[in-house]
């Protein structure tokens, strides 16, 4: 009789070539890229810019499919149940690291259901005020908020979004209290800010830029570590006296847990190559999106650290999904 250890070794040797062939032949059909948010939004726009270039690199078309709802969890659920063969992928945003602290009763576990592939791009969050607001700096806005605690209405893209989390952290760091006004997206918040309905807004530079350029709003600071190229005169919060406020919206690629690491590496390479394309760079600049393209190991660490940070912020700010 064959010894059990020898038998397992023999089976492993026989199976290995098949596994290797599957990875070598991947992809052998179109890739389904499930975007967890609505068409036309920032995350979706970047996915659609990158998908054709990724397809060229991989030798198969990358088909974008929007699965909205549940703060991104509906799209996540589709990919969590997919075969880990690299043919069904998730395009998600920063809610990916916030949802584990907010959502209950999901059919999957965010912490174990996905393999992080790469952080593709980030969207800087800015604090903007309506044109009639006399504040010309963050310091003046903070002084105004302290004089009128709880009376300033500040809009965001919605509950538990990057804008909401940035606003919560801003209040904590600056020692102020304002009234949060959640919207269904940054464009809606920007519209009401331009109309004077809101006193201010924490939204992406993409959403706030047009109304600032038209004189209907004023940008005070950006929540990034360094100034952004599209707004070189706009100070960071650290420069404005509020250190530690560096929250950004982002979009990234995930695969189902169990996807072979070589497949993840090739996916990362495809995204990285797309981000280096001149046409893609031009489109991302128009979207005020900052390209990243981090390797899988670095992105996995980012996801893990961000999830812990967001859990603390959600708890301390008592953030709830309504």
Cα→Cα distances 11→3, 23, 85, 120, 261, Å: 12, 19, 21, 39, 21
Task: Read off the pLDDT of residues 11-29 as tens digits, 9 standing for 90 and up.
Answer: 444 444 444 444 569 999 9
DSSP state string for 155-188:
EESSTTSHHHHHHHHHHHHHT---EEEE-SSHHH
Looking at the domain assignment, is residue 131 inside a domain? yes
Based on the fold, state whether residues 118 and 66 are members of the same structural domain: yes
pLDDT, position 17: 47
The CATH number for 155's domain is 3.40.190.10
The CATH number for 264's domain is 3.40.190.150
Looking at the domain assignment, is residue 137 inside a domain? yes
pLDDT, position 24: 63
Based on the fold, state whether residues 76 and 111 are members of the same structural domain: yes
pLDDT, position 9: 46
Looking at the domain assignment, is residue 201 inside a domain? yes
Cα→Cα distances 150→135, 174, 179, 290, Å: 17, 14, 5, 33
Based on the fold, state whether residues 135 and 152 are members of the same structural domain: yes
Based on the fold, state whether residues 37 and 95 are members of the same structural domain: yes
Domain enclosing residue 186, as ranges: 123-222
Cα dihedral 286, 139, 312, 157 in deg (nearest 10): -40
pLDDT, position 185: 82
pLDDT, position 141: 98
Looking at the domain assignment, is residue 41 inside a domain? yes
Based on the fold, state whether residues 95 and 110 are members of the same structural domain: yes
- d(C-alpha 121, C-alpha 42), whole Å: 10
DSSP state string for 41-105:
SHHHHHHHHHHHHHHHHHTS-EEEEE---GGGHHHHHHHHTS-SSSSEEEEEETHHHHHHHH--S
Look at the chain and report how many structural domains it folds into.
Answer: 2
Based on the fold, state whether residues 212 and 77 are members of the same structural domain: no
pLDDT, position 194: 97
Q: Which residues of the chain have pLDDT under 50?
A: 1-22
Cα→Cα distances 304→18, 56, 144, 190, 297, Å: 33, 31, 37, 32, 11
Based on the fold, state whether residues 128 and 207 are members of the same structural domain: yes
Based on the fold, state whether residues 128 and 111 are members of the same structural domain: no
Based on the fold, state whether residues 116 and 129 are members of the same structural domain: no
Based on the fold, state whether residues 258 and 281 are members of the same structural domain: yes
Q: Please report where in the chains the tokens 């609505």 appear, as a residue.
A: 38
pLDDT, position 253: 98
Looking at the domain assignment, is residue 227 inside a domain? no
Looking at the domain assignment, is residue 158 inside a domain? yes
Burial, 132: exposed, middle or buried (Cβ in 10 Å; 0-12, 13-18, 19+)? Answer: exposed
Based on the fold, state whether residues 139 and 76 are members of the same structural domain: no
């Amino acid at each position: 009789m064959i010894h059990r250890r020898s038998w397992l070794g023999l089976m492993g040797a026989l199976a290995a070539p098949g596994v290797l062939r599957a990875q070598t032949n991947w992809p052998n059909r179109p890739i389904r890229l499930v975007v967890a948010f609505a068409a036309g939004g920032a995350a979706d726009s970047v996915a659609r810019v990158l998908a054709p270039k990724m397809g060229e690199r991989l030798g198969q078309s990358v088909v974008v499919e929007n699965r909205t709802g549940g703060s991104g969890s509906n799209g996540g659920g589709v990919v969590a149940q997919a075969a880990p063969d690299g043919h069904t992928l998730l395009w998600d945003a920063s809610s990916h690291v916030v949802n584990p602290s907010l959502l209950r009763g999901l059919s999957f576990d965010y912490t174990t259901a996905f393999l992080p592939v790469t952080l593709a791009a980030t969207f800087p969050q800015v604090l903007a005020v309506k044109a009639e607001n006399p504040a010309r700096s963050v310091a003046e806005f903070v002084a105004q908020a302290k004089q009128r605690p709880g009376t300033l209405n500040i809009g965001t893209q919605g509950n538990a979004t990057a804008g909401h989390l940035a606003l919560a952290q801003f209040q904590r760091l600056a020692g102020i209290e304002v009234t949060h006004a959640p919207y269904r997206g940054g464009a809606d918040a920007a519209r009401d800010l331009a109309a004077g309905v809101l006193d201010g807004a924490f939204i992406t530079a993409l959403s706030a830029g047009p109304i600032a350029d038209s004189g209907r709003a004023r940008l005070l600071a950006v929540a990034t570590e360094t100034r952004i190229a599209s707004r070189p005169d706009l100070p960071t919060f650290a420069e404005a006296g509020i250190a530690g406020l560096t929250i950004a919206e982002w979009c990234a690629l995930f695969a189902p847990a169990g996807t072979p690491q070589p497949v993840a590496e090739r996916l990362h390479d495809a995204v990285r190559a797309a981000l280096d394309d001149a046409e893609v760079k031009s489109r991302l600049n128009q979207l005020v999106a900052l390209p990243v393209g981090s390797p899988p190991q670095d992105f996995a660490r980012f996801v893990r650290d961000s999830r812990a940070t967001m859990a603390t912020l959600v708890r301390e700010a008592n953030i709830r999904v309504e």
